[in-house]
């Protein structure tokens, strides 16, 4: 069983009490359809070591395996997409690191067990690259890094294009969380509601999903 408390000091300093598996499962079941939709995006703004994100990833990867196991490339493509849909922010650096390692482990267990001899390190590298971009050290209240630099938290949006390519666009979390109708970048939805169209701060060329991290960039 996962420990829910690391230390009393961390509970009093940071409110760090992890959610039990039973509660995680029950809460995720409230949005069950989304947890098994491979590309459905989830952000947890105080993700701890990833109790919710881990279960979401596990559910999505089970779907990927059931649907695409017969074709390794398809499995890889959808598994990378599943990982790319999961985002977290956490104040404590050790939790951030644990969360990334944990999510990677969930992917790698399923991947390696499915394609032991033919599994590819470049697929693992892409997953690691995405996790480093998606699970971020940050203060979810100020929407900035918790160090002296206090830089804005910047997330990457990943979208699949022409099956094997990914489009990456970066957005500040502050911009993504602007209330509807705020600022100049609003449009109306087909239901007549004002919707926010956040502006990317960076826009990257298409990249093959197995080439992420190839040139040591971030």
Ligand X SMILES: C[S@@+](CC[C@H](N)C(=O)[O-])C[C@H]1O[C@@H](n2cnc3c(N)ncnc32)[C@H](O)[C@@H]1O
80 or 92: CB nearest ligand X: 92
Residue 140 Cβ, how far from ligand X at the closest point, in Å?
A: 4
3 or 70: CB nearest ligand X: 3
58 or 124: CB nearest ligand X: 58
Residue 137 Cβ, how far from ligand X at the closest point, in Å?
A: 9
Residue 111 Cβ, how far from ligand X at the closest point, in Å?
A: 25
| Interacting residues of 71 by C-beta distance below 8 A, sequence separation 6+ | none
Residue 92 Cβ, how far from ligand X at the closest point, in Å?
A: 4
30 or 187: CB nearest ligand X: 30
- Interface residues with ligand X (CB under 6 A) are 14-19, 44, 46-48, 51-52, 89-92, 95, 139-141
Sign of CA dihedral 34, 35, 36, 38: positive
Measured between alpha carbons, how far is 122 from 19 in angstroms, rounded to an integer? 33
């Amino acid at each position: 069983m996962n420990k829910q408390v690391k230390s009393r000091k961390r509970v009093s300093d940071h409110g760090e009490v992890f959610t039990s598996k039973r509660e995680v499962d029950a809460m995720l079941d409230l949005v069950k359809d989304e947890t098994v939709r491979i590309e459905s995006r989830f952000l947890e703004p105080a993700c701890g070591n990833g109790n919710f994100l881990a279960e979401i990833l596990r559910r999505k990867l089970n779907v990927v395996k059931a649907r695409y196991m017969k074709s390794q490339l398809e499995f890889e493509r959808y598994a990378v997409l599943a990982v790319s849909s999961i985002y977290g922010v956490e104040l404590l650096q050790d939790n951030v690191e644990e969360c990334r390692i944990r999510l990677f482990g969930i992917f790698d267990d399923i991947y390696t067990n499915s394609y032991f001899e033919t599994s590819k390190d470049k697929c693992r590298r892409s997953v690691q690259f995405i996790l480093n971009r998606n699970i971020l050290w940050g203060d979810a209240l100020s929407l900035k890094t918790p160090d002296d630099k206090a830089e804005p938290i910047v997330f990457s949006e990943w979208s699949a294009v022409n099956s094997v390519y990914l489009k990456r666009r970066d957005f500040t979390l502050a911009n993504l969380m602007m209330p509807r109708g705020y600022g100049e970048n609003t449009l109306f939805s087909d239901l007549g509601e004002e919707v926010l169209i956040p502006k990317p701060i960076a826009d990257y060329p298409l990249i093959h999903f197995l080439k992420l991290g190839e040139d040591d960039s971030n």
